[in-house]
């Protein structure tokens, strides 16, 4: 076949004339630079259709988006991280969160989605807490044997030391995984230990950094009953 790697001739396998270059005509200028990032646009966009209806639609949309941003359906990824817990936070935060609390109809939703209000206080870094709650866990999951509990305790201790977020969830998850029963509904039992949906989300990190003074001193709202209060808290001064 002509031009197949024979020397560096200009023979190509297709008809060059068909490309539009006549014989011997100048080829288009060679490009020495990368093409521009935003080449000039040959055809500009046609103007937007601006009439009354569209203006009204725009207003509707802006209203709607503003409304849902404030609604309970709009959820932020992280709550505002507080570097130092401030006195005013208690008053400021609670005001925004209590607006339009959204209570779904639980008859129409799987029960695993329910977040039960916690009666207990948050876990802190002290061991006795674990033991106390372990008892709670044991009550609801009678089929776990002692060995597993001990194992869990150890791993939890390790985790606590490294400052893992949301140790409670880990307990719940661990127990779940050790269960043979894969029924999700059983996870309802863990709800006792979980966070309250109302009220602010406290990151574990924050808690562990603080002293317990502020925590003990201020009441966090309706859900945090003081039934077992002092048992879970840190050293009593």
In the chain, count H helices and then E strands: 8, 0
- In the complex with other proteins, the residue whose CB is nearer, 59 or 150, is 59
- In the complex with other proteins, the residue whose CB is nearer, 85 or 203, is 203
Within 13 Å and on the Cβ side, how many CA atoms surround 150? Answer: 3
Min dist CB 104 to other proteins, Å, is 5
Min dist CB 42 to other proteins, Å, is 7
Min dist CB 22 to other proteins, Å, is 9
Cα separation, 134 vs 131, in Å, equals 5
Rg (CA), the chain: 33
Min dist CB 118 to other proteins, Å, is 10
- In the complex with other proteins, the residue whose CB is nearer, 201 or 213, is 201
Cα separation, 107 vs 168, in Å, equals 27
Give the Å distances, CA to CA, from 119 to 22, 107, 123, 145, 193.
88, 24, 12, 26, 8
Count of beta carbons in the 10 Å neighbourhood of residue 184: 11
- In the complex with other proteins, the residue whose CB is nearer, 8 or 44, is 44
Min dist CB 109 to other proteins, Å, is 6
Site residues, other proteins (CB under 8 A): 13-15, 19-20, 37-39, 41-49, 53, 56-58, 60-61, 64-65, 67-68, 71-77, 102, 104-105, 107-110, 112-115, 165-166, 169, 172-173, 176, 182-185, 187, 194-195, 197, 201
């Amino acid at each position: 076949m002509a031009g197949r790697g024979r020397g560096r001739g200009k023979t190509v396998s297709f008809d060059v004339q068909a490309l539009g270059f006549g014989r011997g005509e100048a080829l288009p200028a060679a490009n020495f630079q990368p093409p521009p990032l935003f080449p000039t646009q040959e055809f500009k966009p046609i103007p937007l259709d601006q009439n009354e209806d569209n203006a009204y639609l725009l207003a509707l949309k802006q209203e709607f988006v503003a409304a849902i941003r404030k609604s309970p359906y709009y959820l932020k990824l992280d709550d505002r991280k507080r570097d130092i817990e401030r006195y005013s936070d208690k008053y400021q935060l609670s005001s925004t969160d209590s607006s339009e609390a959204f209570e779904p109809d639980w008859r129409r939703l799987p029960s695993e989605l329910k977040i039960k209000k916690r009666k207990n206080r948050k876990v802190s870094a002290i061991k006795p807490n674990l033991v106390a709650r372990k008892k709670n866990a044991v009550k609801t999951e009678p089929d776990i044997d002692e060995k597993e509990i001990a194992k869990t305790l150890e791993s939890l201790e390790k985790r606590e030391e490294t400052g893992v977020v949301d140790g409670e969830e880990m307990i719940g998850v661990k127990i779940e995984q050790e269960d043979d029963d894969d029924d999700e509904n059983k996870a309802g039992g863990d709800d006792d230990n979980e966070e309250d949906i109302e009220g602010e989300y406290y990151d574990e990190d924050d808690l562990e950094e603080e002293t317990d003074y502020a925590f003990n001193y201020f009441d966090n709202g309706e859900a945090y009953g003081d039934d077992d209060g002092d048992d879970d808290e840190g050293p009593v001064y």
